[in-house]
Structure 1
């Protein structure tokens, strides 16, 4: 397919990029008497560098929803026509980077995990086709082990970067810290330095894969070292592909000894010499935000949009190239266009993913819904708990409801339905030994999903800062949560087999390795004795157990072991949609 040079992919874009395209086509908006960006009244347009960025693609290469078995709005194949257009009509150099989380999170990627002996990962196939210049490692790149990561990225025609991933023994960089890319602008060389960072929390979230092998230094510390080195090697422009947000952390930095999860606001204040940062990790969008002279942008997750930074440059013999102005915007794909080259290149991979996800594994006489899973016990959650207890032999099971829109249909149940119910194919199963006191602390921590609600009067009840995937429910004990009580005192009843749980009681608790490793900063489990350690994903264990049953009836998984008090708060939580 010939790269597109029309403006169709840019429909709905702002005047900034449209102006670039028109100028490149000789159709600039400025008349002969208008003042150009360089302050001239002759219509002169300053040299421009256009930077493009994606992030959190999570294997969404084609506009296909493998769980719903139907077309999706987003996919890299929808962004490629936009990238082609920008490259074709821009008179100056362009650059395309990604800010990480590529290899996990979609059935197409899962179909190539693990990667076969002679296979190329479809994510790398797509990125090579798009002509990426560099990519950041994201935290999810480590979900399936270092060997899988290294084998997957070995076929890339571009470098995968990180300034804060080091060898645990030597302290040396485990991956390239940065790259200096050379372009030509108006007959002169232009050097663009690109580096990347990711959350140090990889040491917590993927401890099983990285402990003793890789360390993850603080983000600010890493960039303070790398940025001056890039400038010293002649970088005229410095770009950071940051798998990182402005601020916030989901783990305890004191007990882990790690730097905060997100530090890009600190970077803006404390690291000098960065021109543009392409953010990631938070699954939000940032179109055009400037902090302390640094432009920040963030594309939408799963290829929902392309982030574009336009830099006006000026050259002097003494200083070389410098950035005079920088603007950002987000461009959304045309829902009717998808690159045929990418579709053809990924046809076999797509067929494999579709075949895996549409496989029927059981039937059900009734439909199962996840809509109420965070307000009362449900057959869906009890199904997960039962499998976790059976596999581990544990007394108790802890699990979260990842999606309130998930469910199982009446009739045929496919692998896709289980993927929707349990989307994290990287979660492995663990079991630990805990005390009654630690169990109560665990439940109190989980109850932070609800805001303090004295006298049952609060708005909202569901805490928007507490993700639903950090609201664990426990099976095997009976308990009551009362959000009207102060935080830390909301577990008003905790019993096992009709007897109050004593602080000194001991239990074994099944949970996933993300939680046991410290994800969500739940107390009592990271240092607990591990009594079961499997190497299969929870999702795969669910699929196997369901397939062995053949028929699933929700009546066989009824549970009544926990409740929210007072009852009117249940209704309020349901009205609020149960949170995110």
Structure 2
């Protein structure tokens, strides 16, 4: 408990201690609880678990103590021991995102009577509610209806009430196209008995009614168009809140918690806004806000300086809020102090605050290099036995052989020009479209086909969060490592101007480098996520000048050795997320899609490898871009995984050198941009 809360509660606790024997368990007498009573309640949040139930890396086939719900469960138990009054909620992106999830959804789908592994684990911890994220829709409405135990009046939905989580899921802004009704309950009320203290310090047990209302990002209609078009409709987050909060308030809850699978954005609001948490916090009646989707932590430095946001105490427009990381790496905690005023509970916003508790943290004194040891909480022993059978089956599945490779394919230096992990994806995507597109669009048969891919794993999740497929036998695990997400393939028609705009957007991955600056400069823009750094191949070559401002960095662009004209036609292969507007790339809003494949990109890649059997250098197009030569006075540096300099050298990146190891699995490297 923080010193701030201790100062608040110590007098009450001291007095309560003296009266404990006589006052514990006093009955609740309805409206007799006098004004001036006080209670402390902790709202616990998980989000973006992405079916990472165990602390295990299915791509490297080894334990990974830095993630996994089984460790978050330990934090939950510890928080409950610390706070007598707790509620536990989940903010979505729960059922998709790991090999285990794909196995239970696509390879050997669970039956109606079988509960998903991730829900089994969550049920062991006793949740009070949750919502659906955008990735809940990746496997289709039929699967979602089944595994959540929610009958849905939509095409493909289930009428039967199948095995689902033992807690309510609420979602207010997605409606069935047939009847216009929400596909989940938009809201519900959860009631628990809590301990409170009367003005004289007596402890009393009272019921606390917490209303919850859920929201998912409206762009799901673009991102999962194939699964959702014609079946559901979506409204904006604020509009849904304004529609259903009056109904919820009519139930007279003591508190209202909004569970949003979304982050914070202060750009002008639109009903299609992906991260509308800032605007949702401004809707009257919301006492606490749970966030997600952005795969980061709030409170935290990422949101420092945002208007009307306290990124240290965890307040958004005065409303206590939290975003508890991703992949089971953290637990979000909102500490609410409630005062009894006018016959109702009121949140004391001056005393309430939030924090994110990690499963792993640095401990001990720094060593000579300035680094500290990392210590992770143990896994909760109750979780692994629940999912062991599904876990072992998933491991067997990803070890299915599909071919061989004579080259290492990794993303350790994808940002610096090693495209070995992207080249097979681009080759497989382009081959697929060159075969399929002429069947539906014969008029486009002669248009050049390019392919765009991004390195999904570039260290964002820690020093093990990289793609690394060794030379030798290839398995389905290799394909899943090379293509991390279960996207489907899409192709768009554009022109030379659109191609250049696409590349300019991608080049935002880099900070602007000042050649005259003598001090150290960071190459990578940490606010620009790696999965939005598309690298395009297919006979093109381009140059990125990081000394220039964003939008003016592509200084050379050619196709088959000739300069690309703005009017030159191109087909660019990408995924359904990007083609439909994901990442807000210019010219990509779904309107210029010419092929929306029913096949997943990962499966297309696996079949491409299986067909070739042996992958060598000749099968992979060389890197299609380079940095413009730039002589800089000071070092240009970036953070990567430790002990990987040999990978850079083997890939021909001789302009990279090691600066220092950080002692936590990461290292600082410098890149010489002059050649």
TM > 0.5 fold call: yes
Partner of 2:347: 323
Distance 2:621 2:568 in 1: 26
CA 1:46–1:171 in 2, change beyond 3 Å: closer, same or farther? same
* C-alpha displacement of 1:464: 2.9
Cα offset, 1:387, TM superposition: 0.8
Structure 1 residue 565, shift from structure 2 partner:
1.0
Indicate the residue corresponding to 2:192 in structure 1: 183
- After the TM superposition, which residues 72-221 of structure 1 pair with which residues of structure 2 at under 5 Å, given as runs? 72-73=64-65, 74-84=67-77, 86-87=79-80, 91-92=84-85, 94-114=86-106, 115-118=109-112, 119-154=114-149, 155-168=164-177, 171-185=180-194, 186-221=204-239
Kept after mapping to 2: 8 A contact 1:367/1:407:
yes
- CA contact under 8 A between 1:434 and 1:528: conserved in structure 2? no
User: In the alignment, does 2:480 pair up with 1:422?
Assistant: no
Q: Contact (CA 8 Å) 1:46, 1:314: kept in 2 or not?
A: yes
Moved more, 200-209 or 522-531: 522-531
C-alpha separation between the residues in 1 aligned to 2:77 and 2:546?
A: 53
Cα shift readout 1:499-527 (whole Å, capped 9, x = no counterpart): 33233322222111111111122233435
Of 388-397 and 82-91, deviating more is 82-91
Per the TM alignment, residue 487 of structure 1 is displaced from its structure 2 partner at its CA by 4.1
Deviates more, 1:383-392 or 1:82-91: 82-91
1:307 is aligned to 332
Structure-1 separation of matches of 2:314 and 2:408: 46
Distance 1:369 1:333 in 2: 27
Check the 8 A contact 2:511/2:523 in 1, yes or no: yes
Shift of 1:388: 0.8
Alpha-carbon distance change, 100 to 23 in structure 1, aligned in 2, over 3 angstroms:
farther
The answer to whether the 8 Å contact 2:543/2:626 transfers is: yes
CA distance in 2, matches of 1:20, 1:337: 32
Counterpart in the other structure of 2:648? none
Aligned residues: 545
Partner of 2:290: 278
Q: Residue 508 of structure 2 contacts residue 528 of structure 2 at CA under 8 Å; is this kept in 1?
A: yes
What CA distance in whole angstroms lies between the structure 1 residues aligned with 2:101 and 2:330?
A: 20
- The C-alpha deviation readout for 1:392-427, integer Å capped at 9, x for no partner, is 106211111222432221333333333232211x21
Whole-Å separation in 1 of the counterparts to 2:562 and 2:81: 72
Contact 1:482 1:491 in 2 (8 A): yes
State the SS of the aligned residue for 1:280.
coil
Q: Which residue of 2 aligns with 1:442?
A: 502
* 8 Å CA contact 1:379, 1:555 repeated in 2: no
- In the alignment, is the contact (CA less than 8 A) between 2:421 and 2:467 conserved in 1? no
Aligned in 2, Cα 1:23/1:147: closer, same or farther, shift over 3 Å?
Answer: farther
Contact 1:51 1:309 in 2 (8 A): yes
Contact 2:469–2:481 (Cα < 8 Å) also in 1? no
Q: Give CA-to-partner distance per residue, 1:249-280, whole Å, 9 cap, x none.
A: 7xxx89xx643222322333x22222222221
Q: Which secondary structure does the structure 1 equivalent of 2:263 belong to?
A: coil
* Range with greater deviation from structure 2 (15-24 or 340-349): 15-24
- Work out whether residues 218 and 258 of structure 1, in 8 Å CA contact, stay in contact via their aligned partners in 2: yes
Q: Is the 8 A contact 2:332 2:354 kept in 1?
A: yes
Q: Contact 1:201/1:258 (CA < 8 Å) preserved in 2? A: no
**What SS does structure 2 have at the residue aligned with 1:163?**
coil
Deviation at 1:432, TM superposition (A): 2.5
Distance in 1 (alpha carbons) for counterparts of 2:100 and 2:4:
35
Deviation at 1:210, TM superposition (A): 2.2
Conserved? CA contact 1:372–1:574, under 8 Å: no
- CA distance 1:524–1:21, change in 2 (3 Å): same
State the match for 1:350 in structure 2.
391
CA displacement at 1:552 relative to structure 2 = 2.4
2:62 matched residue in structure 1: 70
Per-residue deviation, residues 91-113 of structure 1 (Å, max 9, x unmatched): 54x32100111111111111112
Q: Offset of 1:443 from its aligned partner?
A: 2.1
TM-score (norm 1): 0.83
Partner of 1:3: none
Q: Would the alpha carbon gap of residues 487 and 575 (structure 1) be closer, same or farther in structure 2, given more than 3 Å must change?
A: closer
Using a 3 Å threshold, how does the CA distance of structure 1 residues 106 and 466 change in structure 2: closer, same or farther? same
Do the aligned residues in 1 keep the contact of 2:417 with 2:625 (CA within 8 Å)?
yes
Aligned to 1:379: 420
Partner of 1:401: 455
- Matching of residues 256-275 of structure 1 within 5 Å: 258-268=271-281, 270-275=282-287
2-structure distance, mates of 1:174, 1:138: 13
Tell me how far apart the structure 1 counterparts of residues 359 and 552 of structure 2 sit (CA, whole Å): 49
TM-score by length of 2: 0.72
Q: Could you list the runs of 5+ residues in structure 1 that have no partner in the other structure?
A: 1-12, 34-43
Is 1:547 aligned with 2:565?
no
In structure 1, C-alpha distance between the alignment counterparts of 2:473 and 2:314, rounded to whole Å = 48
Are the counterparts in 1 of residues 170 and 213 from structure 2 also a CA contact under 8 Å? yes
Cα distance in structure 1, aligned partners of 2:84 and 2:525: 49
1:199–1:244 CA contact under 8 A, matched in 2: yes
Instruction: Report the Cα distance in structure 2 between the residues aligned to 1:153 and 1:417, rounded to whole angstroms.
Output: 30
1:46-65 matches, within 5 Å, as 46-65=38-57
